[in-house]
């Protein structure tokens, strides 16, 4: 059953103006979902540098950025440290408890949160945040509940697209 919640331009701008925290999934959002393994079994992931620059610009503008992922990897610890993301929640298949901690920490409401998620473990959080966002290559279920679908795919600039939109609407 299709329940698409895509917003009009004016409704989207209103929601974007209210956002104080952008939360991100990793695989399929910050990466394209691919996993690479060396001959010794070392796992590697590819991140988009433009997404990283967007995150840093967003933080400079005063918007908090958090990562909530079901994976637990040292790779994401390194990436988060490089981007100065202090709120890294790994091993969170159910992402709502991690989000509730962030709401308490920053004294926010769900209406002040945007979340970018692509897969089944993101669905429950996408349903309750103020601005539900999916990359263009997300699973159909999430595309159907998103307020906004990026023009870019996961790992291919979808995070930068949202960072630029937030900065433009809030500072422009």
- Measure Cα distances from 46 to 3, 148, 154 in Å: 33, 24, 11
Contact between 157 and 48 (Cβ < 8 Å) = yes
| Whether residue 2 has pLDDT greater than 60 | no
Please provide the CATH number assigned to the domain covering 9-171.
Answer: 3.40.50.1000
Give residue 104's pLDDT.
Answer: 98
Rounded mean pLDDT of 45-58?
97
The model's pLDDT over 101-140, given as tens digits with 9 standing for 90+, comes to 999 999 999 999 999 999 999 999 999 999 999 999 999 9
Q: What is the greatest pairwise CA distance in the chain?
A: 52
Give residue 8's pLDDT.
Answer: 83
Contact between 116 and 21 (Cβ < 8 Å) = no
Q: What is the pTM for the complete model shown? A: 0.95
Q: How confident is the model at residue 21 (pLDDT cuts 50, 70, 90)?
A: very high
Give residue 153's pLDDT.
Answer: 97
Give residue 4's pLDDT.
Answer: 55
Domains of the chain: which residue ranges? 9-171
| Whether residue 38 has pLDDT greater than 80 | yes
Q: How confident is the model at residue 73 (pLDDT cuts 50, 70, 90)?
A: very high
Reference 72, options 88, 54, 87, 96; nearest CA is 88
For a pLDDT cut of 70, what percent of the chain falls above it?
Answer: 98
| Whether residue 1 has pLDDT greater than 60 | no
Cα-Cα-Cα-Cα torsion 14, 105, 124, 70, nearest 10 degrees, comes to 130
Which residue did the predictor score with more confidence, 100 or 11? 100
- Residue 92's Cβ-count burial label (10 Å; 0-12, 13-18, 19+) is buried
Rg (CA), the chain: 15
């Amino acid at each position: 059953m299709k329940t698409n919640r895509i917003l009009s331009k004016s409704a989207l701008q209103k929601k974007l103006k209210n956002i104080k925290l952008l939360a991100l999934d990793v695989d399929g959002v910050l990466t394209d979902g691919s996993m690479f393994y060396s001959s010794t079994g070392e796992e590697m992931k590819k991140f988009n540098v433009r997404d990283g620059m967007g995150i840093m610009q967003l933080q400079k503008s005063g918007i908090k950025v958090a990562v909530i992922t079901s994976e637990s990897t040292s790779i994401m610890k390194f990436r988060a440290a490089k981007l100065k993301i202090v709120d890294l929640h790994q091993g969170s298949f159910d992402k709502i408890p991690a989000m509730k901690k962030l709401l308490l920490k920053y004294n926010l409401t769900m209406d002040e949160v945007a979340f970018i998620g692509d897969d089944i473990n993101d669905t429950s959080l996408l349903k309750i945040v103020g601005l539900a966002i999916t990359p263009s290559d997300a699973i159909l279920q999430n595309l159907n509940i998103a307020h906004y679908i990026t023009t870019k795919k996961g790992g291919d600039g979808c995070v930068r697209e949202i960072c630029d939109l937030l900065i433009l609407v809030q500072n422009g």
